[in-house]
Structure 1
Amino acid sequence: MTDSQWALIGPLLPSNQGRRGHPFRDDRRVVDGIIYRFRAGVAWRDLPRGEFGPWQTIWKRHRRYAGDGTWDRVLQALLSQADTAGLVDWDVSVDATIARAHQHATNTRRPDQPTGGVLESQESQLR
C-alpha cells in the first residue's frame, strides 16, 4: 500500500485509546496482510510471516473489523471522499437480455414427473 493510500485509510481505523488488553500492533502491516491475502487468494495460514507477522493476528483483526463494521465505515468514507472529488461515476448499464438459471432453479416439473410431491403423498397416508 502506498503512503497516500495509507494516509486515507489509517485515520479511519479504530485506535488503541481506551481499549483494554494488548494494544494493536502496526495497523499498516496488518492491513497490508489482509489486502495481500485477498489479492493473492491464499489461505490465512499461507501468509508470509516475515512480511506480515503471524497469520492469526491478521485473521483476528480482519474478523474484528468485519464484525464491528469498521470495513463498512472505511468503504463508506472512501466512497464519500471520492464522490465529493468527482472520481466516482455512478452510471450503471445492465444488459438483461439473457438471464440463465440452473435447471433446478425453476419451480416447474418435467413432463415425466408425477404431479404429487412428497408432501402430498404424506398427507394422503395420514387420511
Structure 2
Amino acid sequence: MADLFWLSDEQWAVMAPFMPKDQPGPERKDDRQIISGILHVLTSGCRWRDCPSAYGPRTTVYNRFNRWSRRGFWKAMLAALAKAGWSGEAAAIDSTYVRAHRSAHGGKGGRR
C-alpha cells in the first residue's frame, strides 16, 4: 500500500470544485479515491485491469476516466486552472522513439 498514489489534501482542494455534482444513478464512489486510481494507472503505466483494489473497482476507475475524457472534463479543468493562474509542480517526460530495422546499426558484416 505504500507505493500507491493518493491525492494530497492540497491537490484535492484544487480539484474538488470541478467535480460533477448531482449525477443520476446509484451512489457514486468517492471521487478522490477514483481519481487517485486513474492517476496511479496513468503514471505507473500498468493496465487498467491491474489497478489495485484500494482505489475501488477497476471497471469504475476505467469507466470514469473514459467517460470524463469523452465529455472533455480533463481539458476543461486544466484550462480553467491555467486561466486562474494556478501552476502546480509539473514534469514532462518525452516518450518518443524511432523504430529502426534490425540491421540498421551496422548491417551484415559489421561496421566499416
Q: TM-score, normalised by structure 2?
A: 0.68
- Which one of 26, 30, 33 corresponds to residue 26 of structure 1? 30
What whole-Å deviation, never above 9, does each CA across 1:37-84 have from its counterpart, x for those lacking one? 0110000000111x101110000000111011111111111112236x
Structure 1 unaligned blocks of 5 or more: 89-100, 103-127
User: Which residue in 2 is equivalent to 1:61?
Assistant: 64
Find the residue that maps to 2:26 and give its secondary structure: coil
Partner of 2:55: 52
In structure 1, what is the equivalent of residue 76 of structure 2?
A: 73
Task: Report the aligned-residue RMSD.
Answer: 2.0
Partners of 2:81 and 2:40 in 1: CA distance: 20
| CA distances 1:78-99 after superposition (whole Å, capped 9, x unpaired) | 112236xxx59xxxxxxxxxxx
**What secondary structure, in the 3-state scheme, does the structure 1 residue paired with 2:78 have?**
helix
Partner SS state of residue 22, structure 1: coil
Q: Matched residues in 2 for 1:42 and 1:82: separation?
A: 32
Q: Deviations over 1:86-126 (max 9, x none)?
A: x59xxxxxxxxxxxx99xxxxxxxxxxxxxxxxxxxxxxxx
Corresponding position of 2:19: 13
Contact 1:13 1:74 in 2 (8 A): no
The runs of 4+ residues in structure 1 deviating greater than 2 Å are none
3-state SS, counterpart of residue 29 of structure 2: coil
Percent identity (aligned): 32
TM-score by length of 1: 0.60
Matched length? 84
Structure 2 gaps, min length 5: 1-6, 89-97, 100-112
Tell me how far apart the structure 2 counterparts of residues 73 and 8 of structure 1 sit (CA, whole Å).
14
Distance between the aligned counterparts of 2:74 and 2:27, measured in 1? 20
